[in-house]
Structure 1
């Protein structure tokens, strides 16, 4: 059989079984015959005549072929192929065995037109003729049968046919894009989002962008939020989220969290004297304020309440954890990296403005928000992601679906890892709630990850459409294989070798699993890092401004010589209440060098009364802890009376420790 015979592809009118497919005449695209068949697979035998490879070139893994069974044509996917002998015999006939997976069939419908069905009514018989798949049949297989479609690329098997998705199914039932680094995930997501916005202009998109890449992809449709222009009030944080900030990602101390749970509602009630708080007053009258209620309060009031508890005589036993909590709050409000939470703009009731800006309500021609997370401290990223996902769900819920939102999570395995002991539980809970219940209220989820094996399987299972790009890890491939329909599981067998920009799409948004190539994105909307620093990887250190680097490390504006002043509400707290400056006390406790006679705030260990103490002017009576005695001031640096006393005490201690224990017992 010659190549001229094979290349005669009649892609014109649909003539059913009358297109010479059941004969072996030249030009009928004959490839071979079925020699074995089971419920899901079949084996095809083909001959390469005289050692020619022209026919064998038409067999390749991942291609669809057609098997004639009466008036129907069974569609099969090539999985593997081999010859009946070792090696390829030149000049002789070579018999090939091709394993195929049965996908569905094309049959004539009631209206007289050919249509594709995923089920098989007539299985191939032994000797059934196998043909190349013609373009008209490929078009029917991948036809979604709806007008709400968008072209996102071309089919790998036939580049003349468009790869289409059903946009409503993509958005309403969540989607995932998985693939190893460098295969084009971000570019593919950019293309999908542009197509979604074209199909649904009312859609609002929030992108959690840890690499600051998506801002360049939507130059005319997005607003960029970073630490320079972000105002996310601390009072929007729930108790668990606020504790995550204070404890810097470490396990919280139960006593301190309980104190916050008691005092934050009191601080919120203390704030009701401010202007424009009628709604808050009504809430207070119903006693509905909790530590999680998103109403404003002042850190100054919270610190005053902590001080009040410390000062109570009956609360002496609570002082260690209260003092520790006080220091944690002071550390957070004085950290310049947390200015987006504790700035002067965050002490007002700005929840409406915050929601409007982040979720683009109204959009004002820019329906996309790229939330750049790279500048946010790593120990706060989980809390910020939790707040954004939680607010997205609540906005869609309480608007009764009037606002359609799409939350895109780049590097999603960071927020919802497979190991339930890792990650931040409120973030996992917020994203899971969108995945499980979001489509009922108009909020959907887009998951992007390079390690699907490290992603919570519950989240991935809720994504009804998956675009699987190249994955080299066997465990990651197994995760995708478990998600794809059983009838097309062999599609994943070549997932480790597909090219950049190529993907296997399956799920609700496509008719059948398809191998496709994403169309190219215009240069002006290609995603790229846009962090304000142009990368200059030259290896030449000359001309590097080290001072500017240090200032950025310290989070100081390069134009300023000194750091910014403390938040205004702390200043007012010091001025109005007349209490000691919190930031000065904190600096004295943590930034000064350790001197003789100083002690940790929470050191309450008792000192044996029979030994002289170095930390006090006199010996401590029995039953009294060191924390309750006066603190000795720092000793002078050079010889003095205090130095003599210190040396004398040390000498006495040493002599007592050297004497045998029996000599110290009063006989």
Structure 2
């Protein structure tokens, strides 16, 4: 559709995805970027958003051809607006069934009109208010949680504050079930959350990884290049854990496992023959076993890992029942939010732990019949770190990414959805991004990150994403089917805010504290 409507000195050009308004009327003199303009013929009313403002002289027409107007004027205002929806029966709708005729008029939408057309959208939770209209911004809880969502933005853009606001609103539901992977310990003080501090009050015994992930992710032994070692490790594992499964968390005694590995490394085997003479006369001849001397480095690795104080929580001897108790604390909905606090866990172990818990949650949820499912959402902080878009992953890393990809593609059937948070969406797994129906977009400056979001956005409005570079902390676009209209929202602060782990360099330096380097170095060396 391509038509111009001339009313006095106001001309409106309507295309399938945008509207251009050219006028010398004063009503648009104070129009701003992101203002809403209604374009109506009395029957159909389009809602458009101002993307471009130009004060032009008609002698220099670059965007509009000389034949587009019957009457030209020496001073005009040009507004280019993207069509974002329509008003039907007094309510805003994103779907556009038909366009106006040529007999149209245009005017700015007032705060009262805005409030009226969004008055029916009060289901779900209030995340803040629409910045330009000072009207509460509600997010449809069903549409937001039943399909994967994603929050992105620079460091300091307010992602953690936004997540805290969403968690706080969700916690008011009696059956809410949200699991947060909290790498930095930002949410551990929330009163409505059960804080599960791995490495602090909660051990995570090494057998909970299963044999395969224990070897590759914790002990860092490459399956592909250590054939002899892998054969010995597998032999010892099944000896101490006869009912074990390579990809299932089955209890075994780690100390006995290491003893058996050491035995193989030192094993001497009798040949059945005896010495005929000399000092050894009458004794059986012995030779080195198949693994003798070939496992020394592996045994030393097993021993050193267990001695390292940073990893002590992995080597506490907990029985099989511990798995049941642990997963009850993670999955039971007796409290609405379960915070998996990984702030005290070394980074190289924190990532595999996230993978193990995610796999357990997903596989357990799969066992329920549809009528018995209690849905759960996984909030994945710093998701790009452990769900990367990287084709050079090792076999073990790829297995972990596949868990999240499976949830992204099929998790909704079993009541599991993802809510990844990332400051680098361009590095986040594309399969997961493509499955997200809603995006919360904060301040972003990186062009690669912007391009990634533009390509994944349900709305596909590039100008909206470009604008985020000018956002203040707490400003977001919520884009998708969970919100009625894609306008800038200022997120209200939660009553219980996240605890920032950022160190105030300037203040620390100003206070001139002492540094005990000797003690710290000793701790590092002794482990």
TM-score by length of 2: 0.83
Q: Which residue of 1 aligns with 2:142?
A: 168
* Contact persistence 2:180–2:378 (CA under 8 A): yes
Q: Which residue of 1 aligns with 2:282?
A: none
For residues 526 and 194 of structure 2, the distance between their equivalents in structure 1, rounded to whole angstroms, comes to 26
SS in 2 for 1:237: helix
Of 226, 238, 260 in structure 2, the residue corresponding to residue 305 of structure 1 is 260
For residues 505 and 212 of structure 1, the distance between their equivalents in structure 2, rounded to whole angstroms, comes to 26
Matches within 5 A, 1:120-269: 120-123=97-100, 125=102, 128-135=104-111, 137-139=113-115, 142=118, 148-159=123-134, 161-198=135-172, 200-216=173-189, 218-248=190-220, 253-255=225-227, 256-269=229-242
Of 358, 370, 383 in structure 2, the residue corresponding to residue 412 of structure 1 is 383
Shift of 1:210: 1.7
Shift of 1:164: 0.5
Q: Which residue of 2 aligns with 1:372?
A: 341
SS in 1 for 2:51: strand
SS in 2 for 1:537: helix
* 1:141-166: CA deviation from partner (whole Å, max 9, x where unpaired): 54665x6421111112201x211111
For residues 433 and 195 of structure 2, the distance between their equivalents in structure 1, rounded to whole angstroms, comes to 28
Change (3 A) 1:115 1:192: closer
SS in 2 for 1:295: coil
SS in 1 for 2:23: strand
* Contact persistence 1:34–1:130 (CA under 8 A): no
Matches within 5 A, 1:516-531: 516-522=489-495, 525-529=496-500
Of 442, 462, 468 in structure 2, the residue corresponding to residue 495 of structure 1 is 468
For residues 66 and 322 of structure 1, the distance between their equivalents in structure 2, rounded to whole angstroms, comes to 76
Does residue 105 of the first structure (1) align with residue 79 of the second (2)? no
More strand by share: 2
For residues 209 and 555 of structure 1, the distance between their equivalents in structure 2, rounded to whole angstroms, comes to 28
* 1:594-619: CA deviation from partner (whole Å, max 9, x where unpaired): xxxxxxxxxxxxxxxxxxxxxxxxxx
* Contact persistence 2:178–2:337 (CA under 8 A): yes
Change (3 A) 1:538 1:485: same
SS in 2 for 1:61: coil
Q: Which residue of 2 aligns with 1:387?
A: 356
Change (3 A) 1:322 1:547: closer
SS in 2 for 1:173: coil
* Contact persistence 1:396–1:443 (CA under 8 A): yes
Shift of 1:107: 3.4
Of structures 1 and 2, the larger Rg is shown by 1
SS in 1 for 2:138: strand
Change (3 A) 1:23 1:158: farther
Change (3 A) 1:542 1:173: closer
SS in 2 for 1:393: helix
* Contact persistence 2:13–2:19 (CA under 8 A): yes
* Contact persistence 2:171–2:337 (CA under 8 A): no
Does residue 455 of the first structure (1) align with residue 428 of the second (2)? yes
* Contact persistence 1:33–1:128 (CA under 8 A): no
Matches within 5 A, 1:315-394: 316=289, 318-344=291-317, 346=318, 349-357=321-329, 359=330, 361=332, 363=334, 366-394=335-363
* Contact persistence 2:154–2:442 (CA under 8 A): yes
* 1:256-275: CA deviation from partner (whole Å, max 9, x where unpaired): 23433333122112xxxxxx
For residues 128 and 83 of structure 1, the distance between their equivalents in structure 2, rounded to whole angstroms, comes to 22
Of 48, 51, 64 in structure 2, the residue corresponding to residue 76 of structure 1 is 48
* Contact persistence 1:385–1:427 (CA under 8 A): no
Shift of 1:508: 2.6
RMSD: 3.3
For structure 2, the residue ranges without an aligned partner over 5 or more in a row are: 61-72, 270-286
Does residue 43 of the first structure (1) align with residue 14 of the second (2)? no
Which structure would you say has the larger RCO, counting Cα contacts within 8 Å and 6 or more residues apart?
2
SS in 1 for 2:362: helix
For residues 6 and 13 of structure 2, the distance between their equivalents in structure 1, rounded to whole angstroms, comes to 20
SS in 1 for 2:127: strand
For structure 1, the residue ranges without an aligned partner over 5 or more in a row are: 1-21, 25-29, 270-283, 557-667
* Contact persistence 2:437–2:458 (CA under 8 A): no
* 1:368-405: CA deviation from partner (whole Å, max 9, x where unpaired): 23223232222212211111111111232224453432
Q: Which residue of 2 aligns with 1:644?
A: none
* Contact persistence 1:151–1:164 (CA under 8 A): yes
Change (3 A) 1:183 1:301: same
Does residue 471 of the first structure (1) align with residue 444 of the second (2)? yes
For residues 349 and 454 of structure 1, the distance between their equivalents in structure 2, rounded to whole angstroms, comes to 38
* Contact persistence 2:162–2:491 (CA under 8 A): yes
For residues 355 and 264 of structure 2, the distance between their equivalents in structure 1, rounded to whole angstroms, comes to 31
For residues 550 and 232 of structure 1, the distance between their equivalents in structure 2, rounded to whole angstroms, comes to 27
Shift of 1:301: 2.5
* Contact persistence 1:141–1:511 (CA under 8 A): no
* Contact persistence 1:409–1:448 (CA under 8 A): yes
For residues 534 and 514 of structure 1, the distance between their equivalents in structure 2, rounded to whole angstroms, comes to 36
Change (3 A) 1:552 1:519: farther
SS in 1 for 2:251: coil
Of 115, 118, 129 in structure 1, the residue corresponding to residue 95 of structure 2 is 118
Change (3 A) 1:173 1:328: same
Q: Which residue of 2 aligns with 1:620?
A: none
Change (3 A) 1:37 1:258: farther
For residues 555 and 295 of structure 1, the distance between their equivalents in structure 2, rounded to whole angstroms, comes to 31
